[in-house]
């Protein structure tokens, strides 16, 4: 995935495109990675709901995406 991961991207789509991203979501969002809402909710909403640091989540996801 060459594109930059942004806060408005859908969690489930990112998990499908970026290898290892499930571990990032598991680390920061706890159960969110397996939630049915992950197919319609964006990263920003997930961070808000799980009181996670959005900038850190995006940094870790983009670090993974850039390795691909």
Which residues, listed in sequence order, are joined to residue 42 by a DSSP beta bridge? Answer: 10
**Distance (Å, whole) CA 17 – CA 1:** 7
pLDDT per residue as tens digits for the range 4-44: 999 999 999 999 999 999 999 999 987 666 677 788 999 99
Distances (CA, A) of 6 to 2, 24: 12, 14
pTM of the entire predicted model: 0.88
Per-residue burial over 20-48, b if 16 or more Cβ lie within 10 Å, else e, is: ebbebbeebbeebbebeebeebbbbbbbe
Q: What is the pLDDT of residue 34?
A: 67
């Amino acid at each position: 995935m060459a594109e930059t991961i942004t806060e408005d991207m859908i969690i489930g789509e990112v998990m499908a495109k970026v290898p290892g991203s499930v571990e990032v979501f598991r680390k920061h969002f706890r159960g969110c990675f397996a939630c049915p809402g992950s197919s319609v909710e964006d990263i920003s909403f997930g961070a808000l709901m799980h009181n996670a640091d959005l900038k850190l989540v995006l940094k870790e996801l983009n670090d993974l995406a850039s390795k691909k």
